[in-house]
């Protein structure tokens, strides 16, 4: 975990405006410290590996949303938020939309637990100018990742997209399945 070092570092950087964390975890305490110590933070990237969400640890929706809820509570001044591969669900996304009114860009690519329905899609498009949805292309990103913890076999985003296209050829935000997934949230 990066928490102790991050807390110490951000306390020394009160004018920090951008922070990018990739292939790492951060605790809610780390996000809290970031919010308290860096009031000028406008851009936050928290990009994870694809193995996020595997195992019993992430079976609980509250655990999946810990980072998202901490962001919503502690980083209301964000303009840009990138959560590639995050375990966020619709509950965490709604909290961010409710609490971060200045967001102009939101990147949810590979957030496999987000299931957009018409209401949530409309809200995102009305509130945020630049949106990347969970199944949008990963082209143009500068980093690679490893899938399922295979340290020796780094995959590019293009490799992942090719694999995903064979599993899930279309993703329709207006499908009845997605609307049913959201019925409990609204």
Residues 32-53: pLDDT tens digits?
999 999 999 999 999 986 544 4
Q: Residue 154: in which H helix or E strand, if any?
A: strand 154-155
**CB 78 within 8 Å of CB 106:** no
Contacts of 134 (CB under 8 A, 6+ apart): 108, 109, 110, 111, 112, 114, 116, 171
- Which pLDDT does position 150 carry in this prediction? 39
Which parts of the chain sit beneath pLDDT 50? 1, 51-57, 146-157, 160-186
pLDDT score recorded for residue 58:
54
Looking at every residue in the chain, the average pLDDT score rounds to 78
DSSP code for 112: T
Given this model, what pLDDT does residue 147 score?
43
Q: Provide the 8-state DSSP code for 55.
A: S
């Amino acid at each position: 975990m990066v928490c102790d070092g991050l807390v110490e570092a951000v306390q020394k950087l009160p004018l920090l405006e951008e922070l990018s964390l990739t292939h790492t975890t951060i605790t809610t305490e780390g996000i809290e410290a970031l919010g308290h110590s860096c009031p000028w933070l406008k851009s936050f990237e928290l990009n994870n590996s694809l193995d996020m969400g595997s195992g019993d640890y992430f079976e609980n929706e509250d655990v999946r949303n810990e980072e998202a809820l901490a962001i919503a509570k502690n980083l209301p001044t964000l303009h840009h938020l990138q959560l590639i591969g995050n375990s966020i669900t619709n509950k965490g996304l709604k909290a961010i939309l409710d609490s971060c009114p200045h967001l102009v860009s939101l990147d949810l690519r590979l957030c496999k637990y987000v299931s957009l329905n018409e209401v949530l899609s409309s809200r995102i498009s009305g509130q945020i100018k630049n949106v990347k949805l969970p199944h949008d292309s990963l082209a143009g990103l500068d980093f690679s990742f490893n899938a399922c913890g295979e340290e020796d076999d780094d995959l590019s985003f293009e490799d992942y997209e090719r694999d995903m296209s064979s599993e899930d050829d279309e993703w329709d935000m207006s499908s009845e399945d997605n609307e049913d997934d959201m019925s409990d949230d609204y």
